[in-house]
Amino acid sequence: MNEKKYPFNGYKNAHNIEFRIVRLKNEVDELQMAKQVDICLIEKIEHLIELLEDVLQAALCYNSQGIAYLTGKQVRLAKESVVWAENIRQKY
């Protein structure tokens, strides 16, 4: 059965998802260099990175109006990433 798809402005927001992926990868690198490595945390972050990479690929498949159609889970992660990126940028 096909999942319902929801519109998401991939043209306008894909960079926010990519920004979050890069930050998470940097965090994994920092955790791996720590004296005490938390493997469980690293695995959770790596799983989130994989999910976000799938969302990014879907978001980049936008139409001529910049709209991509994502599943409910994908659009939730995408919107969460947009808000996360806005919050990070406000700090700097």
Query: Is the pLDDT at 76 greater than 70, yes or no?
Result: yes
pLDDT value of position 1: 63
Predicted confidence band at 92 (pLDDT cuts at 50, 70, 90)?
confident
Query: Is the pLDDT at 81 greater than 80, yes or no?
Result: yes
pLDDT in tens, 16-58: 999 999 999 999 999 999 888 899 999 999 999 999 999 999 9
- Best CA proximity match to 59, nearest among 1, 12, 20, 23: 12
Question: Torsion-angle region of residue 66: left (phi > 0), alpha (psi -120 to 50) or beta?
Answer: left
pTM of the model: 0.92
